[in-house]
């Protein structure tokens, strides 16, 4: 059945008519905007973008006069497709409960988001239609190590763009329950887990013969952590306090890990070190209140400060499912507090694509995936709407659960 679905999806792309978006302000990539330009998409990829581009015969033409065209946005850390209705357990997957070192395993490294992703979840169309999001990184949450994320396009496909992508986890106050309430113990547990995984990788035979001491995780989890140890898979880990971020930087340097910081309330205080280590930071620019006393020094302009210091910044809703469509508004808030507009665009396109190795997404350059959004105006303004969304060269339906409810209740019968 899965192979039939993949064949059908490939056939839809192959049979899609060429699309030409004309007369628009086209952001070919962050920092490169072309007025009165044309974007041509054929067979699922961008074949041309710029001024003076000819429209192919038989192409579907979309007049972009007065419109802004960008690559589809990428939500770099999301639960879209994993979490539907928060309070309905049957629609929640990849989110593990509060960790308890006695009653629950805090390590879920072998969990893969692609096994729990639901392409027909209501949040998929809402994120696409309301937010111009064409790709999400579906990431698990909960426990010290939650598992492995995967990239999905929001066109109803159940086949990931790439999986697995990264290992997700948390330390600091948010992960302290896995270590009996101690933030310092949490980083110690993470260090021990990585050491155990390295020991397992070097001598699997002893593990199979039960000739090793008890390790912090089971076989599948230890196996799943091997790409993290070799730097082939990034460890995307939530941390907010300056002390916790510095501890992660030391750990990454000592063990040669590729890491990214999620949340990073006080990351701006460590901006120089993060930039030197080339460690990306996932930021919600509206998270301007301290979540706890351990990380109380929160700034409205954190995204701008990090960006100006040379830190790769990814703007994200940080795992929220129902609010993924507000990603563009978060980017607008970053601009309002000092981040350059083109850099904010990069933070929702090329920056997450670079972090996860999605080479053909995030720009409208020739050869890139045909993920394109036609906006009614500046995409970071709240009054702007995504008028046309194209994914892999196919125009997507401009309908979601929210738009259906709007149409259903737009006119109510008069009460008698």
Q: Are 374 and 406 contained in the same domain?
A: yes
Q: How many domains does the chain have?
A: 2
Does this model's pTM top 0.95? no
Instruction: Provide the angle, in degrees to the nearest 10, between the axes of the packed helices 183-202 and 242-255.
Output: 10
End-of-domain residue from the set 338, 360, 382 = 360
Give me the CATH number covering residue 141: 3.20.20.140
Q: Are 366 and 350 contained in the same domain?
A: no
Q: Classify burial at 327, counting beta carbons within 10 Å of its beta carbon; exposed 0-12, middle 13-18, buried 19 or more.
A: buried
Q: Are 51 and 151 contained in the same domain?
A: no
Q: Are 281 and 144 contained in the same domain?
A: yes
Q: Are 8 and 107 contained in the same domain?
A: no
Q: Are 65 and 192 contained in the same domain?
A: no
Q: Are 230 and 292 contained in the same domain?
A: yes
Nearest-angstrom CA–CA distance, 92 and 21: 38
Q: Are 303 and 405 contained in the same domain?
A: no
Q: What residue numbers bound the domain in which 94 lies? A: 73-360
- Position 102 scores a pLDDT of 40
Q: Are 355 and 371 contained in the same domain?
A: no
Report the percent of the chain where pLDDT is more than 90. Answer: 72
Q: Are 342 and 366 contained in the same domain?
A: no
Report the percent of the chain where pLDDT is more than 70. Answer: 92
Q: Is the pLDDT assigned to residue 65 strictly greater than 90?
A: yes
Q: Are 353 and 373 contained in the same domain?
A: no
- Give the list of residues 6+ apart from residue 317 with CB closer than 8 angstroms, or none: 75, 77, 78, 284, 323, 324, 326, 327, 330
Q: Are 309 and 200 contained in the same domain?
A: yes
Model pLDDT for residues 258-268, shown as the tens digit of each residue: 999 999 999 99
Give me the CATH number covering residue 38: 2.30.40.10
Q: Is the pLDDT assigned to residue 170 strictly greater than 80?
A: yes
């Amino acid at each position: 059945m899965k192979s039939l679905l993949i064949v059908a999806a490939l056939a839809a792309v192959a049979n899609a008519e060429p699309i030409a978006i004309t007369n628009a302000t086209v952001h070919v990539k962050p920092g490169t905007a072309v007025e009165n330009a044309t974007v041509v998409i054929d067979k699922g990829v961008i074949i041309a973008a710029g001024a003076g581009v000819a429209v192919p015969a038989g192409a579907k033409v979309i007049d972009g006069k007065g419109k802004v065209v960008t690559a589809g946005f990428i939500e770099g850390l999301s639960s879209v497709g994993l979490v539907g209705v928060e309070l309905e357990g049957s629609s929640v997957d990849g989110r593990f409960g509060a960790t308890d070192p006695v009653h629950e395993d805090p390590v879920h490294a072998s969990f893969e988001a692609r096994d729990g992703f639901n392409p027909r979840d209501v949040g998929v169309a809402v994120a696409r239609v309301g937010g111009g999001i064409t790709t999400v990184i579906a990431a698990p949450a909960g426990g010290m190590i939650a598992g492995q994320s995967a990239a999905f396009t929001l066109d109803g496909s159940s086949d990931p763009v790439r999986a697995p992508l990264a290992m997700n986890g948390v330390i600091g106050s948010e992960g302290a329950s896995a270590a009996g309430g101690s933030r310092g113990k949490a980083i110690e547990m993470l260090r021990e887990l990585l050491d155990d995984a390295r020991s397992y990788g070097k001598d699997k035979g002893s593990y199979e013969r039960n000739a090793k001491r008890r390790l912090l995780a089971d076989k599948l989890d230890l196996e799943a952590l091997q790409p993290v140890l070799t730097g082939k898979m990034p460890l995307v880990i939530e941390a907010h306090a300056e002390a916790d971020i510095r501890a992660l930087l030391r750990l990454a340097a000592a063990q040669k890990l590729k890491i990214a910081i999620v949340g990073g309330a006080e990351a701006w205080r460590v901006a120089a070190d993060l930039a030197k280590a080339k460690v990306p930071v996932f930021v919600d620019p509206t998270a301007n209140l301290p979540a706890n006393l351990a990380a109380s020094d929160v700034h409205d302009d954190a995204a701008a400060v990090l960006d100006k210091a040379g830190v790769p910044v990814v703007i994200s809703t940080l795992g929220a499912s129902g609010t993924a469509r507000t990603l563009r508004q978060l980017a607008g808030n970053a601009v309002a507090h000092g981040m350059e507009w083109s850099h904010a665009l990069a933070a929702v396109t090329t920056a997450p694509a670079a972090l996860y190795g999605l080479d053909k997404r995030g720009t409208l350059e020739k050869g890139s995936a045909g993920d394109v959004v036609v906006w009614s105006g500046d995409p970071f303004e709240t009054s702007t709407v995504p008028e046309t969304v194209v994914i892999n060269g196919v125009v997507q339906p401009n309908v979601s659960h929210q738009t259906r409810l709007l149409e259903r209740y737009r006119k109510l019968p008069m009460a008698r």
